[in-house]
Amino acid sequence: MGIEMPLKVAEVIEANTTEFTAQCYELYQAPPFGSLVKTSTAPVEIYGIIYNTTTGSIDPGRRPLARGKEESKEEDIYRIHPQFSSLFRTECNVLVVGYNEEGRIHHYLPPHPAHIHSFVYQCSDEEVYQFSQSLDFLSLILASQGKSPVPVEELLAASLRYASRTHPERGEFLITAGRELTLLLSKEVNCLSTILKRIQGE
């Protein structure tokens, strides 16, 4: 097995203990919703889950205008105005769900938040597999309820679907995760059934 270079995708531009915001190097090239990323802030690597992605104007004062009235294809807009790609940016909000210290994964919040300008890498399948050996991150996600504009059920379901792809026994993994969620959400049956519906088809 060759050493896979981790895929560098973004850079931290704002951070606190529970989350950080990263700007993607490429417009629209954010890691998928619910996927696992990491950022290195020596001596630890902080793991996070993408919970919200926004694309907008670099200058908050200037809103983009609609440009495609005369064009037949959307790509033509960017072809005609190549500068647009650098006027907009894509940002991700990342929920901190653990960290890695000297090769040991902890599923709780790190001692310090990420530094600004830390690089953000997309985790490899192997890392996702290792990280999701424990399902404690589910309770950290649940605790973020209300923070993001995205319903927490959606985030839970997306992160489980994403992680499940790396497990050879995908169905078993989802059942175990489902049972864990059932215990966490035993008092919120409606919320639970929403999530279960979203992961059962996998």
Partner 1 sequence: MNKNMHYEEQEDLRLGIVTGGSLTRGLDVKLDNTDLIEDVSVGTYVTIAGERHHFLGMITDISLEMVDPMLSINPPDLSNPFLSRVLNGTIIYGKLHILPQLTLSGSAASLLEGPQQVKTIPSHFAMVRQASEQDIARAFGEEDEKHIYIGNPLDMETKVCLDVSRLIERSNGIFGKSGTGKTFLTRILLAEMVQRGNAVNLIFDMHNEYGWMSTSESGYEVKALKQLFPSRVAVFTLDEQSSSRRGVSTDFVVEIGYDEIEPEDISILQETLNITDKGIELVYELHEHYGKKWLDRFLSQSVQETQEELEQRIEVHRGTLQALRRSLSQLKRLHFLVSEARQNSVASLLAYLNRKMNVVLEFGRYRDNILAYVLVANMLTRRIHDSYVRRKEQAMGESADEPVPLIITIEEAHKFLNSSVASQTIFGTIAREMRKYNVTLLVIDQRPGSIDEEVMSQIGTKMSCLLDNEKDIDSVLTGIHGKSDLKVVLSRLETKQQALIFGHAVPMPIVVRVKTYGTPDSYEHYGSITPTRAKLETEDIDDLWG
Contact set with partner 1 (CB under 8 A): 171, 174-175, 178-179, 181-183, 186-187, 189-190, 192-193, 196, 200
Closest approach of partner 1 to the CB of residue 174, in Å: 7
- Residue number with CB closer to partner 1 (29 or 193): 193
Closest approach of partner 1 to the CB of residue 105, in Å: 25
Distance CA 85, CA 107 (A): 37
Closest approach of partner 1 to the CB of residue 196, in Å: 6
- Residue number with CB closer to partner 1 (56 or 178): 178
Closest approach of partner 1 to the CB of residue 187, in Å: 6
Distance CA 11, CA 24 (A): 7
- Residue number with CB closer to partner 1 (94 or 181): 181
- Residue number with CB closer to partner 1 (158 or 174): 174
